[in-house]
Amino acid sequence: MANIGSSNQQVSILPFDGENYDFWFVKMKTIFKSLGLWESVVEGFTEPNTTEGMTENQKKKLDEKRQKDASALSLIQRNVTDPIFSRIMRVESAKKAWETLRNEFQGDDKVRAIKLQSLRKDLENMKMKEDESLKDYSSRFLELINQMKTHGEDISDRRIVEKILISLPEKFDPIVAVIEETKDLSTLSVQEVMASLKSYEQRMARHTEKAVESVFQSKLNVGSKSQERKPQNFDQPKGESSRGGRYGRGRGRNRGRGRDNFGRSYNSENNSKPCGVCKKMSHDEKDCWFKGQPQCEKCILIVALYVDDLLFTGNSEKMIKDFRKEMMKKYEMNDMGLLKHFLGMEIHQDDEGIFICQKNYAEKVLKKFRMYGCNPKATPLIVGEKLKREDGGSKVDATFYRSMVGNLLYLTATRPDIMFAASLLSRFMQAPSHFHLGAAKRVLRYIQGTVDYGIMNGRSKEVKLTGFCDSDFEGWKDDMKSTSGYCFTLGSGVFSWLSKKQQSVAQSSAEAEYVSAAIATSQAIWLRRIFHDFGQKQERKTEMFCDNKSAVA
């Protein structure tokens, strides 16, 4: 830290180390103006050859200019690190030192014009993502605007406001229409627009929370009483058609709707007796469409339909066999047996459990980027290495880099061990450098040595939800934000994992751990509700292992 000032004023800033020159430029400019030294930095000072013939007043002014120039030069020298100071140590005027740093880290007028043109293009193409929060988008947007202003762009508030409104996703259309109809965009400030949009986003978030709660509601209210809902399994009624797939292909033969005996009339004796299956009135037990429900109250059958592929699983062999038999009976379907391949994933099932991997896909990725057979690495990333956007490296083909990172992200479907690395590399897709490309290739080298890795879901008598979480403190050097990560197991292999940059800047490693634990706890609560809805209620408390050897491993 450097302290400059008089007896009644002190100024402290971080010394410039070669990174974020634009921010350092603005801070130093403000300090120069506050101390009355900015004119000396801009206009400079030239020592005259002789002072003969000067009046006392002129000599006094000359001494003042000389003193201001020396003070400004001293201020610049104090606020740079030693490697940066070596580049200006032989410069004897503040203007020359200032211009030397500016030309090296910001470029001359021609270079700045090229950078400004690139920033204009980025602004034109900038749009808010569907899953991006308004806070993250506003930070990204205003950072770009500040960079343009630093490079000399004169951009009005109206243009900024208009760009914000047209770059929002469809869910903000109602509030955008209100702002455009009721506000004068020529006098509307950026802060007012952001306040209105954030208020609308919070309102949408409250509605979404209520909707999610209603979707996973596990109790049925009747009058003033509440009855616990039990897991139920339904036979598919006649008349519906579906597609086959992994266990069968084709269309169903039935095209009708409804049941032939659904509209029968009943005598007073039948109406007075409830059904023996569903306990409801107005129909006989032989006509109840809930047939088969009492056979198993805790049996679960999960059916997934993807295009023309029908996949199903469950915890009851009898239910699976009955479902397969019913599908083949009603529809033109063929039984393909146990699932072995699906969307690039390989599924190996035996008595020990189910192993899921993407070995063939991983080999295709290595061959695609000409890394097949390369020397493997023990870790996906270099331990302790911090990547950043502006690292001084030469730019590489962004399309090639995005393709590589996209393939790595798809591998994370069965490879949680590369989730952190793939998530980190995806942040540099806009303008990757050769350093970022080298880090991505290192991940491929790690995959070369672990190509047959995957997730093993072994048989377990106890279905217990357990979570692990950790954080990477200040892992993102551009905004000093940390990264949260978690994974959950049900007694064997992991089934849910995440690696994501935190939304706020943690002031300490402890705060980063608290934020990571809060995110993991929120996921654990959601998973417990899902299991309860599936009839697999977690009776015991969920253990969370935070920032210890279990979480790191």
Residue-wise pLDDT tens digits, 160-211: 888 888 889 888 888 888 888 888 888 888 888 888 888 888 888 877 665 5
Q: What is the pLDDT of residue 297?
A: 56
Angle at the Cα of 417 from the Cα atoms of 413 and 421, rounded to 5 degrees: 95
3 state DSSP class of 232: coil
Band of the pLDDT at 403, cuts 50, 70, 90?
very high
Amino acid occupying residue 423: S
Is the pLDDT score of 237 beyond 80? no
Checking if the pLDDT of 264 tops 50, the result is: no
Q: Using the predicted structure, report yes or no on whether residue 281 has a pLDDT greater than 60.
A: yes
Q: What is the rounded average pLDDT for all residues in the chain?
A: 78
In angstroms, rounded to a whole number, what is the distance separating the alpha carbons of residues 284 and 266? 8
301: tokens are 């059958």
Average pLDDT over residues 135-139: 88
Q: Which of 312, 354, 302 is nearest to 333 (CA)?
A: 312
Give pLDDT tens digits for 332-350. 777 777 778 778 788 888 8
Q: What is the pLDDT at residue 45?
A: 80
At 148-163, the pLDDT tens digits run 887 778 888 888 888 8
**What is the CB-side half-sphere exposure of residue 515 using CA atoms within 13 A?**
22
Q: What is the pLDDT of residue 265?
A: 42
Q: Determine the distance from the C-alpha atom of residue 239 to the mean position of all C-alpha atoms in its chain, rounded to a whole number.
A: 44
Residue 145 in contact with residue 105, Cβ under 8 Å? no
pLDDT of 128 > 80? The answer is yes
- Read off the pLDDT of residues 73-117 as tens digits, 9 standing for 90 and up: 888 888 888 888 888 888 888 888 888 888 887 776 676 777 788
Give the pLDDT of residue 325: 82
**Measured CA distances, 202 to 114, 173, 335, 504 (Å):** 39, 15, 49, 17
State pLDDT tens for residues 408-445: 998 988 888 889 889 888 888 888 888 899 999 999 99
Q: What is the pLDDT of residue 471?
A: 87
pLDDT band at 236; cut points 50, 70, 90: very low
Predicted pLDDT of residue 506:
83
- According to the model, what pLDDT value does residue 228 have? 44
- d(Cα 341, Cα 358) in Å, to the nearest integer? 10
Average pLDDT, stretch 367-385? Answer: 87
Residue 485: beta bridge partners?
470, 499
Residues 372 and 361 sit within 8 Å (Cβ to Cβ): no
Q: What is the pLDDT of residue 214?
A: 52
Distance CA 513, CA 506 (A): 9
H/E stretch holding 98 reads helix 94-105
Question: Under DSSP, is residue 52 helix (H, G, I), strand (E, B) or coil?
Answer: coil
List Cβ neighbours of 350 (8 Å cut-off, separation of 6 or more).
none
Phi, psi of 248 (to 5 degrees): 180, 155
End-to-end CA distance of the chain: 38
% of residues, the chain, pLDDT over 70: 80
pLDDT of residue 290: 58
Question: Is pLDDT of 144 > 60?
Answer: yes
pTM higher than 0.95, yes or no? Answer: no
**Tokens at 532, concatenated:** 């309860």
Task: Give the model confidence (pLDDT) of 494-532 as tens digits.
Answer: 888 888 888 888 888 888 888 889 999 999 999 998 888
